[in-house]
């Protein structure tokens, strides 16, 4: 009996052990006991492995994500992926321990073929998924950030980040659904990622105007704007001698920038400088073009002779 009891356990794992117990205790026939024992062992082992795996791995994952300072929107899908992985491993091990060796091999072969076919058919989806994972881990931007990409062709405020797409609301209140692979394969500009933003604006004055006076006005008006930082302060440099104007570039800093603060502050500043220029008679010239040459009119002698008659 002991040899018979050991053989099912070795051959069928937990399923063989349960089958033998059913035969010895309840007197169930060997064929029925084997099928029922494997089924019971599969369910029990799968449940136990899932519960233990979730109890052990989820707290570890939580600590890792806290250490990485991931946002809540990033934690949820990553936890879902971890749960799917735990279920997959639990089912696979349960198949093996229950004695479904042949079935497990067959399922593995089918799964491998299906994975290959799905991989070819869903290359873009998989690429976007992997890109989404990189966005979660690298954190090039967060929800609420103002970003620009594709050389400034697109810009807006990030509304949502998922594992496949990122949703961006433009400043015209349009919603852009962007595949994550587009964002990870391109240069992303995030003007609000840091605690301050430097803004530049080029003022043009006439060649006859006083450069020092214009520079003083540009600096003074910047210092009057609450949204412009005092340290570092505004700087003005002559950067351009254009065809019709002298270019003075102003560089100033905005604290805790957002798109609305950037537009409002820059607009108020530029308007104030323009009004001061008008008060002191400093022109902001516009491009002019002078055409020189001669105009010959054929038949002019005939027309003059006709008029004299």
Per-residue pLDDT tens for 237-275?
Answer: 999 898 888 999 999 998 877 776 778 889 999 999 999
Determine, yes or no, domain membership for 291.
no
Same domain, residue pair 92 and 7: yes
* Long-range residue pairs from 259-266, CB within 8 A, at least 24 positions apart, any chain: 259/146, 259/157, 259/171, 259/192, 261/227, 262/191, 262/197, 262/199, 264/227, 265/199, 265/225, 265/227, 265/228, 266/199, 266/201
Whether the per-residue pLDDT at 216 is higher than 50: the answer is yes
Whether the per-residue pLDDT at 149 is higher than 80: the answer is yes
What CATH number does residue 251 fall under?
3.30.70.100
Q: Cα-flanking dihedrals φ and ψ of residue 174, to 5°? A: -95, 150
Whether the per-residue pLDDT at 5 is higher than 50: the answer is no
Same domain, residue pair 238 and 152: no
The pLDDT assigned to 227 comes to: 86
Distance CA 228, CA 109 (A): 65
Q: What is the mean pLDDT of residues 141-145?
A: 87
Q: What pLDDT digit, counting tens, does each position of 37-90 carry?
A: 667 777 888 888 889 988 888 888 888 877 776 666 667 767 777 888 888 788
At which of 92, 121, 150 does a domain end?
A: 121
Same domain, residue pair 20 and 112: yes
The pLDDT assigned to 210 comes to: 93
Determine, yes or no, domain membership for 270.
yes
Which ranges of the chain would DSSP assign to H, the alpha helix?
2-21, 30-67, 72-97, 101-121, 123-138, 180-184, 211-224, 259-280, 300-308
What CATH number does residue 151 fall under?
2.30.30.60
* Higher local confidence (pLDDT), 41 or 159: 159
The pLDDT assigned to 7 comes to: 39
Work out the end-to-end distance of the chain between its first and last CA atoms, rounded to an integer number of angstroms.
144
Q: How confident is the model at residue 9 (pLDDT cuts 50, 70, 90)?
A: very low
Same domain, residue pair 93 and 166: no
Determine, yes or no, domain membership for 297.
no
The pLDDT assigned to 20 comes to: 65
Bridge partners (DSSP) listed for residue 228: 254
Which H or E run includes 193? none
Which of 279, 289, 276, 269 is closest to 202 using CA atoms? 269
The pLDDT assigned to 93 comes to: 78
Residue numbers of the domain that contains 259: 196-280
Q: What is the pTM of this model?
A: 0.55
CA dist 125 → 81, 112, 121, 165 (Å)? 15, 18, 9, 10
Same domain, residue pair 108 and 17: yes
* Higher local confidence (pLDDT), 24 or 62: 62
Determine, yes or no, domain membership for 306.
no
Strands 235-241 and 246-255 come out as: antiparallel
Determine, yes or no, domain membership for 296.
no
Same domain, residue pair 111 and 170: no
Q: What pLDDT digit, counting tens, does each position of 168-209 carry?
A: 999 888 999 999 888 888 888 888 888 888 999 999 999 999
Same domain, residue pair 179 and 238: no
Name the maximum alpha-carbon separation found in the chain: 144
The pLDDT assigned to 270 comes to: 94
The pLDDT assigned to 298 comes to: 62
Q: What is the mean pLDDT of residues 215-235?
A: 91
DSSP structural state of residue 291: -
Determine, yes or no, domain membership for 131.
no
The pLDDT assigned to 11 comes to: 44
The pLDDT assigned to 108 comes to: 67
Q: How many domains does the chain have?
A: 3
Same domain, residue pair 108 and 57: yes
Determine, yes or no, domain membership for 151.
yes
Same domain, residue pair 178 and 263: no
Same domain, residue pair 153 and 249: no
What are the tokens at 213?
């006076």
Determine, yes or no, domain membership for 300.
no
Distance CA 148, CA 187 (A): 9
Q: What is the mean pLDDT of residues 142-146?
A: 87
Whether the per-residue pLDDT at 18 is higher than 80: the answer is no
Q: Is 201 helix (H, G, I), strand (E, B) or coil?
A: strand
Q: How confident is the model at residue 1 (pLDDT cuts 50, 70, 90)?
A: very low
Same domain, residue pair 223 and 167: no
Task: Mean pLDDT check: name the lowest of 35-39, 101-105, 301-305.
Answer: 301-305
Whether the per-residue pLDDT at 2 is higher than 50: the answer is no
Asked whether the beta carbons of 132 and 164 are under 8 A apart, the reply is yes
Q: Is 28 helix (H, G, I), strand (E, B) or coil?
A: coil
For residue 39, how many other CB atoms are within 10 A of its CB? 15
Q: What is the mean pLDDT of residues 141-147?
A: 87
Same domain, residue pair 30 and 102: yes
Which of 249, 255, 217, 253 is closest to 234 using CA atoms? 253
Distance CA 1, CA 264 (A): 88
């Amino acid at each position: 009996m002991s040899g018979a009891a050991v053989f099912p356990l070795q051959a069928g794992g937990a399923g063989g052990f349960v089958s033998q117990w059913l035969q010895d205790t309840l007197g169930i026939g060997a064929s029925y006991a084997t099928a029922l024992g494997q089924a019971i062992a599969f369910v029990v082992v799968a449940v136990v492995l899932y519960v233990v795996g979730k109890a052990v791995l989820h707290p570890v994952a939580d600590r890792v994500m806290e250490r990485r300072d991931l946002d809540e929107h990033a934690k949820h899908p990553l936890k879902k992926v971890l749960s799917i992985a735990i279920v997959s491993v639990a089912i696979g091990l349960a198949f093996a321990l229950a004695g479904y060796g042949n079935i497990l091999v067959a399922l593995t072969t089918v799964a491998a073929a299906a994975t290959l076919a799905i991989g070819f058919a869903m290359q873009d989806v998989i690429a976007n998924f992997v890109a989404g994972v990189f966005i979660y881990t690298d954190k090039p931007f967060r929800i609420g950030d103002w970003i620009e990409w594709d050389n400034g062709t697109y810009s807006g405020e990030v509304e949502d980040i998922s594992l496949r797409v990122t949703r961006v609301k433009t400043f015209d209140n349009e919603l852009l659904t962007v595949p994550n692979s587009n964002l990870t394969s391109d240069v992303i500009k995030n003007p609000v990622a840091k605690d301050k933003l430097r803004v530049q604006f080029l003022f043009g004055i006439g060649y006859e105007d006083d450069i020092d006076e214009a520079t003083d006005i540009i600096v003074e008006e910047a210092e009057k704007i609450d949204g412009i930082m005092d340290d570092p302060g505004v700087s003005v440099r002559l950067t351009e001698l254009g065809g019709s104007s002298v270019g003075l570039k102003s560089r100033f800093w905005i604290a805790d920038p957002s798109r609305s603060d950037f537009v409002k502050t820059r607009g108020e500043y530029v308007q104030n400088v323009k009004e001061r220029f008008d008060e002191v008679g400093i022109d902001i010239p516009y491009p002019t073009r002078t055409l020189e040459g001669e105009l010959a009119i054929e038949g002019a002698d005939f027309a003059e002779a006709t008029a004299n008659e």
